[in-house]
């Protein structure tokens, strides 16, 4: 060991960063956040609770008290464990089990990082009797293009609209269309003015103007909109206004070929088909407040069907996908609509691998301790 390493190891900042007290404090606070966030799901909903307690660096409680979120807490704990492994750990064969334990714990954080930045979150809303195999994103948007068809199957081409800027050009190969971005707002307000500011602007709803709105803290309340110059295969150009709150696509035709354009929430095709057979909601006695609610669903994959129940803290898992009971709504006809949160986590096996590594480290450590006692 070099003198610089020994000097750094004994320095006050390193000893503070590698302190066991920090690790204990982080673990206790993570337990509090987990309990707090689980309880908050009942009143705030699944996504708001996740964003506030688990995905944030910090959050304001009571509007003025800043508290660390799970992301900041996990980074502090990761740095603490890494500092312990580098500066406090004594590297010798007798401690090989403890080293493996540390590697297992650090791999937990790698799994959490992959989950946070590589996960796909969407939702699936169904009425009783409805069937679907496509979920839509909660706050990610896309510009979708497809051709009118009499059949049920559609070939849709789409690209993400996040980060689009004026003057940018997006070129598609199938269909061979070119989108020139004249203006784009991540959150917009749409207007229908008596005298349109831009003539010959195509829009299915009669909207002819957009204005920018500040981004809402709740991502699902942001509705993007933009004006695009679309160049068709025959070389003709058309100015089209698209807005995220429109329920119908805007048609565009030239040379005997038709296209439908729409800004919509991003779609994810599921490997299974989900049918909502029944939705059940129980209320607190004497109130209209829901005490519990669950979805009875039928899952079909490659011709094989199975029944499942999805309710709070009881999700349904299929390969990389997990289905949670997120919320429900009652439409004007008094029919229930159940919303399932769909999470695709490609790093779902990492926590199991981390657990095996940690368990192996514990086993090796206890075996080494047993052999050392016997040798004495």
Enter the tokens of residue 237: 């150009």
Comparing 7-16, 19-28, 30-39, 356-365, which segment has the lowest mean pLDDT?
Answer: 7-16
**Model confidence, pTM:** 0.67
Residues 6+ positions from 21 with CB-CB distance below 8 Å? none
pLDDT for residue 375 = 65
CA separation, residue 75 to residues 69, 82, 221, 364 (Å): 10, 10, 30, 28
- pLDDT of 148 reads 81
Dihedral sign from CA coordinates of 25, 27, 30, 36? negative
Domain boundaries, the chain: 3-119+349-375, 121-132+269-344, 137-267
Long-range contacts of 321-326 (CB under 8 A, 24+ apart): 321/270, 321/271, 321/272, 322/348, 323/124, 323/274, 323/297, 324/46, 325/293, 325/294, 325/295, 326/45, 326/46, 326/47, 326/123
Q: What is the share, in percent, of the chain residues with pLDDT greater than 90?
A: 36
Label residue 5 by pLDDT band (50, 70, 90): low
Quote the pLDDT of residue 135: 94
Pair 132, 148: CB distance under 8 Å: no
The confidence score (pLDDT) of residue 281 equals: 83
- Predicted confidence at residue 17, as pLDDT, reads 80
pLDDT band at 152 (very low <50, low <70, confident <90, very high): low
For the stretch 95-126, pLDDT in tens is: 788 888 888 888 888 887 887 777 888 999 99
Cβ pair 251, 272 in contact under 8 A: no
Residue 128: pLDDT over 60? yes
Over 90: is that where the pLDDT of 305 sits?
Answer: yes
CA distance 35 to 314: 16
What is the CA angle 56-57-63, rounded to 5?
75
The confidence score (pLDDT) of residue 1 equals: 54
User: 284: pLDDT confidence band, cut at 50, 70 and 90?
Assistant: confident
Percentage with pLDDT > 70 across the chain: 94
Confidence of residue 145 (pLDDT cuts 50, 70, 90): very high
pLDDT of 191-245, one tens digit each? 888 777 677 888 888 888 899 998 876 777 889 999 999 998 888 899 999 999 9
Determine the pLDDT at residue 54. Answer: 84
Please give the pLDDT value at position 59: 87
∠ Cα 106 358 53 (to 5°):
50
Q: Please give the structure tokens belonging to residue 258.
A: 């038709």
Beta bridge partners of residue 311, listed in sequence order:
294, 314
Question: Is pLDDT above 60 for 164?
Answer: yes
- What is the chain's mean pLDDT, rounded? 86
């Amino acid at each position: 060991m070099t003198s610089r390493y020994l000097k750094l190891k004994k320095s006050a900042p390193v000893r503070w960063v590698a302190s066991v007290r920090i690790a204990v404090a982080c673990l206790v606070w993570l337990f509090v956040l987990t309990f707090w966030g689980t309880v908050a799901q009942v009143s705030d909903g699944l996504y708001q609770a996740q964003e506030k307690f688990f995905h944030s660096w910090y959050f304001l409680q009571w509007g003025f008290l800043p508290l660390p979120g799970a992301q900041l807490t996990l980074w502090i704990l990761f740095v603490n464990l890494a500092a312990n492994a580098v500066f406090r750990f004594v590297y010798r064969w007798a401690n090989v089990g403890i080293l493996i334990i540390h590697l297992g714990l650090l791999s937990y954080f790698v799994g959490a990082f992959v989950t946070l930045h590589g996960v796909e979150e969407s939702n699936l809303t169904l009425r009783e009797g409805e069937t679907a195999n496509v979920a839509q994103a909660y706050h990610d948007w896309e510009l979708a293009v497809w051709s009118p068809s009499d059949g049920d199957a559609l070939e849709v081409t789409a690209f993400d609209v996040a980060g689009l800027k004026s003057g940018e050009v997006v070129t598609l190969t199938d269909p061979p269309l070119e989108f020139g971005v004249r203006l784009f707002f991540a959150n917009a307000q749409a207007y229908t003015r008596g005298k349109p500011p831009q003539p010959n602007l195509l829009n299915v709803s009669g909207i002819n103007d957009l204005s920018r709105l500040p981004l809402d803290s709740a991502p699902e309340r942001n509705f993007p909109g933009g004006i695009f110059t679309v160049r068709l295969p025959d070389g003709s150009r058309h100015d089209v206004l698209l807005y995220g709150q429109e329920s119908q696509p805007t048609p565009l035709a030239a040379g005997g070929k038709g296209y439908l354009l729409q800004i919509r929430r991003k779609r994810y095709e599921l490997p299974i088909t989900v049918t909502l057979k029944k939705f059940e909601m129980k209320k607190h006695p004497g109130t209209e407040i829901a005490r519990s609610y669950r979805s009875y669903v039928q899952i079909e994959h490659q011709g094989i069907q199975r029944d499942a129940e999805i309710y709070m803290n009881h999700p349904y898992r299929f390969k990389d996908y997990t289905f949670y009971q997120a919320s429900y709504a009652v439409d004007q006809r008094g029919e229930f609509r159940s919303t399932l949160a769909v999470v695709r986590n490609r790093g779902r096996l990492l926590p199991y691998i981390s657990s095996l590594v940690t368990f192996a480290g514990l086993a090796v450590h206890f075996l080494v301790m047993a052999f050392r006692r016997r040798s004495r």
